Amino acid sequence: MVELESRETPAIKPRIMLVEDEKVVAADIEECIRGLGYDVAGSAASGAEAIRLADRARPDLVLMDIKLRGATDGIEVAGHLYEEHKIPVVYLTAHADAEILRRAKHTAPAGYVLKPFDERSLRTAIEIAFDRHGRERALVEAGERLTAAIGNIDEAVIVTRANGEIAVMNQVAESLTGWKAEQAIGKTLREVFTMLDPHTGKPQAFPAGRVLREGISIGLGEGVLLSRTGSRAMIQGSAAPVADGRSHAVGVCLLFRAINRRARDEQWGAPEHSSASRMEMLGHLTTGVAETFTRLLAARRGRTRATRLAQRLLEFGRRQPGVSADLDLNELVRELEDLLECALGDQIELRVSLNPSAGPAKGDAGQIELLLMHLALSARASGNPGTFAIEMSAAEAAAGDTYAVITVRPPDGSANAATDLPALDEILRQSAGETRVTSDGGVVRIYLPA
């Protein structure tokens, strides 16, 4: 037997470009970079030369001296590299005065190293820069996924980096704030999002710092959004942390909507029972999805589940009333579990008991989803922790007919107006069929013809 030699593909080393106008210093730093295990993508001594080299070489990181020969300094070069190529920059400088630091901050630097420095401090700065840049890339990807997930829903989305700069903005947010995404990205949230107290007219403090510091979601309540054009709109919303795979908050996701905006699918709910509207539920559900979504971003397993969750949300938002059809009730409930967990929040545990003998049954899948989501959101709104149980039971004989039954038991004390028959009947009337609902002390039973 001939054994083939196993050849592993060598790992690609990150490529670092150096911008330093002192030749002796540049040579020492290049040697240090190679000693740390990185490749040198090239070296430049002036701003113009650095821009040409970076455009051609596209390094993974740039070590940038702030003071350079010529009219263009390192801060201007760093701004160009970030805007054009999103290349992270670590500043090398012997100057740390307030004005230089103020200008440097606007270029979103990945770090600073004060001269003179040793190999250890340079290594630390480079590793932190790569780590930070990786998190920011994950944040942008997460924001784009979240925006895509709710792009067809009446929710405005703004995602910021940890430094408060806007990374992602959807069209609804553009409409409400008066800012185009390409204009807003890179600006601070304070510049783009101004929320006024509805009683005093004074700007309200935005709790981004607390969201990042404590890693919690915070409701914004109701306020007046002052747009770039000077128009005003009453809004409500929430702010949730965007976390990486290690549960570190790397940004903030802001979701909000105009209170007076009428839902696109108003036919889903009559005015007296607006809580039964699918769009009204989506307004609450998207916040719950965002909270869960942000915990799943960086890990491979988490990304897969986040993608599935986004798809579930889109399917729920696009579903329209349909005709009765044969349903696998166990499969329907199983597919809805992710969204139900988001709707219930962290204080209520979802418990599902499937039963093969409960299906198939005849009914409108969208109608059943709406009933279950309505009950889950109502349980969360009650504020009572506990278990939200869904039980599938075998077909039962009732008045000579055979039914499959879905029993929903919210946490103790969660019975409220939302679990009463008028609100549930409002959902039932939205599509033709023989589905029936009973409610007794908060326990709801959904009967479908088998």
CB 426 within 8 A of CB 273: yes
- Strand 249-258 and strand 325-327: pairing? unpaired
Q: What is the pLDDT of residue 5?
A: 39
- What token pair was written down for 63? 């070590």
Amino acid 419: pLDDT: 60
- The CA angle 445-447-450, to the nearest 5 degrees, is 145
Q: Could you report how far apart the first and last alpha carbons of the chain are, in Å?
A: 63
Mean pLDDT of 253-273: 52
- Nearest to 379, CA basis, from 407, 406, 347: 347
Rg of the chain over all Cα atoms, to the nearest angstrom: 28
Q: Within 10 Å of residue 357's Cβ, how many Cβ atoms?
A: 11
User: What pLDDT is attached to residue 193?
Assistant: 93
* Average pLDDT in the chain: 75
Which of the four pLDDT bands, split at 50, 70 and 90, describes residue 17? very high
Residue 443's alpha-carbon distances to 379, 423, 432, in angstroms, are 11, 14, 24
The domain made up of 15-134 is a member of CATH 3.40.50.2300: yes
Poorest-confidence range of 139-143, 340-344, 363-367, 402-406? Answer: 139-143
- % pLDDT > 90, the chain: 12
Q: Using pLDDT thresholds of 50, 70 and 90, give the confidence band for residue 239.
A: confident
CA distance 29 to 118: 10
Residue 407: pLDDT band (50, 70, 90) is very high
User: Which one has a higher pLDDT value, 245 or 55?
Assistant: 55
Could you say which DSSP state residue 372 is in? H
Question: Using one digit for the tens of pLDDT, what is the confidence trace for 276-297?
Answer: 345 455 555 555 555 555 454 4
User: What does the block give as tokens for 225?
Assistant: 């959004």
Angstrom CA distances, 58 to 50, 123, 130, 141, stand at 11, 21, 15, 20
Residue 244 clears pLDDT 80, i.e. is over it: no
Q: What CATH code is assigned to 135-312?
A: 3.30.450.20
What does the pLDDT read at residue 315?
Answer: 57
Q: How confident is the model at residue 231 (pLDDT cuts 50, 70, 90)?
A: very high
Is a pLDDT exceeding 50 seen at residue 268?
A: no
pLDDT value for 63: 92
Q: What is the pLDDT of residue 143?
A: 58
Residue 319 vs residue 213, higher pLDDT: 213
Q: List pLDDT tens digits, range 29-66.
A: 999 999 899 999 999 988 888 899 988 999 999 999 88
For the chain, the structural domain boundaries read 15-134, 135-312, 316-449
The hierarchical CATH code for the domain 316-449 is: 3.30.565.10
Closest of 335, 338, 356 to residue 288, by C-alpha: 338
pLDDT 10s digits, 294-338: 454 444 444 555 555 555 555 555 555 566 788 888 888 888 888
Q: Quickly list DSSP for 289-340.
A: HHHHHGGGSSSHHHHHHHHHHHHHHHHHHH------EEE-HHHHHHHHHHHH
Looking at per-residue pLDDT, the higher value among 398 and 122 belongs to 122
Binned at pLDDT 50, 70 and 90, residue 92 comes out as confident
Please state whether the predicted TM-score (pTM) of the whole model is above 0.85. Answer: no
Question: Does residue 428 surpass a pLDDT of 80?
Answer: no
pLDDT band at 262 (very low <50, low <70, confident <90, very high): very low
